[in-house]
Amino acid sequence: MALLKVFDVAGSGMSAQTTRLNTVASNLANVNSLAGDPQQVYRARMPVFQSVLDRLTGNEAQVGVRIADIVAKEEQPEALYDPSNPLADAEGYVFRSTVDPMEEMANMMSASQSFQSNVEVLNTVKQLLLATLRIGE
C-alpha cells in the first residue's frame, strides 16, 4: 500500500536529520580546537543526503533518504600566532578549526525544523488512518 510508504519516507528523514544534528554537535564541540599542523586541525563535517528509489518498480518516485557520506569542509584553517602555545609549530603558529559557529547554529535549527516536520507528517497520517478506520462505525 502506497500510503504506508509515508512512514518509511518520514522515518528515513528523521534518521537523516538525527545524523545531521549529531554532526552539528560534533562540529560545535570542536569549534575552538587547535592544532600545530594545518593538516591535523579539525575540519567541519557535513552529511551528504541521497534519495532512495523504489527498487522493485524502478520508479523514480522518492521513497526515502539516506546518508551517502559525511564529508569534511575543504577550506583552509586560520593560522594564529601564539608561540607560547605548546601546540605551536616551529614558527609559533597554531591552527584553528574550520567550524563556523553561526553556520552550525543555522544547520541545527534547520535540522530540528526538518525533524519536527517529519514528526508532524507521521502524526497527520496516523490521524488520517484512524479516521479512515472510523468510517465503518
133 pairs with which residues across the strands?
none
**Residue 46 has what DSSP assignment?**
E
Render pLDDT for 73-90 as a digit per residue (tens, 0 to 9). 988 998 999 999 898 988
Rounded-to-integer distance, Cα 67 and Cα 65, Å: 7
CB 37, CB 89: distance < 8 Å: yes
For residue 15, give the H/E element and its range: helix 5-29
Render pLDDT for 32-72 as a digit per residue (tens, 0 to 9). 999 988 999 999 999 999 888 766 665 555 578 889 999 99
Nearest to 116 by CA among 127, 124, 106: 124
pLDDT score, position 2: 65
- Residue ranges per structural domain of the chain: 2-125
* pTM > 0.95: no
Rounded-to-integer distance, Cα 35 and Cα 112, Å: 31
Q: What is the percentage of the chain residues whose pLDDT exceeds 90?
A: 57
CB 113, CB 134: distance < 8 Å: no
**Mean pLDDT of the chain, nearest integer:** 89
Distances (CA, A) of 98 to 40, 72, 88, 94: 11, 9, 17, 13
42 pairs with which residues across the strands?
none
Residue 67, φ and ψ in degrees, nearest 5: -90, 115
Nearest to 33 by CA among 100, 106, 95, 103: 95
Is the pLDDT reported for residue 15 higher than 80? yes
